[in-house]
């Protein structure tokens, strides 16, 4: 038996998590609702809906990034396959870009395991844990993901915003509190400001809402597909794939290393 509890149906009825697509979902629930139902098994509440929408919107597009370039170059060779071009762009969402919220959330989650039995950690407990984590990372020469910003050395405005929303919606919790302690400990350790950045604050919010690090990555993938489609359509109308190729060829230098 292959047990799967997401969806199913016959040619006539499609069900998602037990809900009938036509009777219960269409025109009654929007995409974000049913996305959450399919992935997590339940509809989102207001604050989760806000988080999901903002995560999806943030992921859509950041210009001519590697993923957009891969989509356009692939479509240039295989203009008949939209799915191939989009898949090519998606494949770059790995450990270095587009997956960083997951990496940062996983780091915080592992660090917070030390306080697993503590129902409501004090600021002092979080501070001590932050110091210990910073010391260990320094010893292991591991970078702590989610901190620092090339421009906003004194604080990323997106972090301030995420903090305000978390407080408004009542889910400012142990992970966000820990992340702020981590920023202080890290700044003291390296001797310059290491503010919690947008990636780090998204990771903290995700965990405070009880969501998994991988759910953060999932939202990135879903949102980015919309942006990659936008690049594919623009490439069909106003192609630049050939120009990118020419540019790379002109700048390339062959020969022996």
Interactions with a copy of itself, residue window 180-239 (CB under 8 A):
214-215, 217-218, 221-223, 225-227, 229-231, 233-234, 236, 238
The verdict on 53 binding a copy of itself (CB under 8 A) reads yes
The pair phi, psi for residue 41, each rounded to 5°, is 90, 5
Which residue intervals of 78-122 are DSSP H helices? 82-90, 100-112
Distance CA 188, CA 190 (A): 6
Q: Which stretch binds a copy of itself (CB under 8 A): 116-124, 130-138, 140-148, 243-251?
A: 243-251
Contact 183, 216 (CB under 8 A): no
Distance CA 175, CA 49 (A): 20
For residue 15, list its beta bridge partners. 8, 20
Site for a copy of itself in 97-126 (CB under 8 A): 97-99
Distance CA 66, CA 93 (A): 9
Task: State which of residues 48, 56, 105, 144 lies at the interface with a copy of itself (CB under 8 A).
Answer: 56
Cβ-based nearer residue to a copy of itself, 105 or 126: 105
Task: State which of residues 69, 163, 196, 207 lies at the interface with a copy of itself (CB under 8 A).
Answer: 69
CA atoms within 13 A on the CB side of 55: 31
Site for a copy of itself in 18-37 (CB under 8 A): 18, 21-22, 25-27, 29-32, 34-35
75: enclosing H helix or E strand: helix 66-77
Cβ-based nearer residue to a copy of itself, 110 or 123: 110
The verdict on 149 binding a copy of itself (CB under 8 A) reads yes
The verdict on 153 binding a copy of itself (CB under 8 A) reads no
Task: State which of residues 106, 158, 177, 202 lies at the interface with a copy of itself (CB under 8 A).
Answer: 158
């Amino acid at each position: 038996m292959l047990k799967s509890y997401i969806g199913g149906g016959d040619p006539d009825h499609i069900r998602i998590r037990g809900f009938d697509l036509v009777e219960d979902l269409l025109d009654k629930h929007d995409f974000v609702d049913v996305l959450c139902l399919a992935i997590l098994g339940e509809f989102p509440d207001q604050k989760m809906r806000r988080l999901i929408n903002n995560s999806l919107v943030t992921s859509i597009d950041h210009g001519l990034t590697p993923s957009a370039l891969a989509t356009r170059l692939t479509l240039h060779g295989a203009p008949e396959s939209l799915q191939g071009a989009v898949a090519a762009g998606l494949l770059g969402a790995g450990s270095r870009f587009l997956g960083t919220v997951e990496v940062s959330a996983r780091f915080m989650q592992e660090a917070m395991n030390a306080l697993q039995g503590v129902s409501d950690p004090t600021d002092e407990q979080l501070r001590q844990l932050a110091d210990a984590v910073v010391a260990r990372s320094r010893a292991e020469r591991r970078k702590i993901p989610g901190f620092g910003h090339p421009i906003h050395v004194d604080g990323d405005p997106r972090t301030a915003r995420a903090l305000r929303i978390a407080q408004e919606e009542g889910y400012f919790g142990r992970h966000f509190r820990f992340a702020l302690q981590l920023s202080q400990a890290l700044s003291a350790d390296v001797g310059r400001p290491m503010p919690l950045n947008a990636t780090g604050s998204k990771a903290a919010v995700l965990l405070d809402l009880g969501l998994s690090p991988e759910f953060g990555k999932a939202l990135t993938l879903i949102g980015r597909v919309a942006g990659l489609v936008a690049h594919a359509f623009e490439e069909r109308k106003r192609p630049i794939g050939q120009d990118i190729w020419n540019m790379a060829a002109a700048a390339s230098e062959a020969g022996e290393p």
